[in-house]
Amino acid sequence: MNSEPGPATTESGGVATPTFFPDPAIDRLTQALMKLTGEVWVLTERVAALEALATRRGLAIDDELASFAFSPEEDAKLQAARAAFVRTVIGPLSAVGR
């Protein structure tokens, strides 16, 4: 049986979160890094799946991807998604000093 205590917890907005480091900013930075790492892996896996599907269907998309441009409507949706992504990843850092 492990006799060492687990991480401490702190209340933030009514939610208990584990505290691993003496400086809460490091905990928040670690949380942001973990969220970003998860997002990158999901995207890596999804791109690999799309490339495999294109190859299985006989689509040579490499040249098209190099010159691809989103429509204005697609670009607007992508910019909104980018803003949400930044809030998700960087959000934990905004609580530093609170």
Q: Which residue is it, tokens 């990843």?
A: 89
Report pLDDT for 7.
Answer: 60
pLDDT category of residue 1 using cuts at 50, 70 and 90? very low
pLDDT, average across residues 55-77: 92
88 exposure class (CB count in 10 Å sphere: 0-12, 13-18, 19+): middle
Residue 31 CA from chain centroid, whole number: 10
pTM exceeds 0.75, yes or no:
no
For residues 27, 29, 31, 35, the Cα torsion angle rounded to the nearest 10 degrees is: -170
Q: How confident is the model at residue 11 (pLDDT cuts 50, 70, 90)?
A: low
Band (32; pLDDT cuts 50, 70, 90): confident
